[in-house]
């Protein structure tokens, strides 16, 4: 008897995009994160996960654009990410939060350091939501991509110019 082998699908989360799913055969992957922040969330009980690829910290810069593309801004993007996850059964009590990016890219003087500002705003937003970061890899001067495996809850990073992936979060145990 032949059985169909499961195939893993990689879904590329674009700039200013929010993706949430319960599909265990999907790995969500960001495009390269420079000053942008990638935020991955995973609920090991509901088996719900999502990724936000956010560019800027505050939607007050352009409320009209934020309404149309909430993922562009960290404040509206995180609210959208959490709302979509909760709609699929995720709970804040079980939610694990991971972030990567926030590098200082194309700004050697650090006068605009959007990456640092993104990271500071993320901490404020998580505190308001009663959430903590479970793992992070932010700052520096290198682009990286983030991958969230929905079957296991593993979060991996790939750094520009490197072949090997870095494990940011091992397989999430069921609570």
Helices vs. strands in the chain: H and E counts, helices first: 3, 10
Residues 114 and 138 sit within 8 Å (Cβ to Cβ): no
CATH number among 3.30.1330.200, 2.120.10.30, 3.40.50.261, 3.40.50.2300, domain 9-169: 3.30.1330.200
Active site residues: 36
Q: How confident is the model at residue 121, as a pLDDT?
A: 96
124-153 per-position pLDDT tens digit: 999 999 999 999 999 998 999 999 999 999
Give the separation between CA 145 and CA 18, rounded to whole angstroms. Answer: 15
What is the pLDDT averaged over residues 68-76? 97
Q: How confident is the model at residue 46, as a pLDDT?
A: 97
Give the separation between CA 3 and CA 103, rounded to whole angstroms. Answer: 45
Q: How confident is the model at residue 108, as a pLDDT?
A: 58
30-60 per-position pLDDT tens digit: 999 999 999 999 999 999 999 999 999 999 9
Q: How confident is the model at residue 112, as a pLDDT?
A: 65
pLDDT band at 6 (very low <50, low <70, confident <90, very high): low
Tokens of 123: 């901490």
What is the pLDDT averaged over residues 79-91? 98
């Amino acid at each position: 008897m032949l059985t169909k082998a499961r195939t893993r699908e990689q879904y590329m989360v674009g700039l200013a995009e929010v993706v949430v799913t319960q599909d265990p055969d999907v790995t969500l992957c960001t495009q390269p994160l420079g000053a942008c922040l990638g935020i991955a969330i995973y609920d090991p009980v509901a088996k719900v996960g999502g990724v936000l690829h956010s560019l800027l910290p505050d939607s007050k810069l352009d409320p009209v654009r934020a309404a149309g593309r909430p993922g562009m801004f960290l404040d509206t993007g995180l609210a959208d990410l959490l709302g979509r996850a909760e709609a699929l059964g995720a709970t804040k009590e079980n939610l694990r939060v991971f972030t990567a990016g926030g590098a200082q890219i194309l700004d050697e003087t650090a006068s605009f350091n959007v990456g640092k500002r993104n990271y500071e705003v993320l901490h404020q937003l998580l505190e308001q939501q009663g959430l903590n970061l479970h793992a992070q890899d932010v700052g520096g001067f290198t682009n990286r991509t983030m991958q969230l495996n929905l079957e296991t809850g593993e979060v991996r990073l790939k750094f520009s110019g490197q072949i090997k992936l870095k494990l940011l979060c091992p397989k999430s145990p069921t609570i």
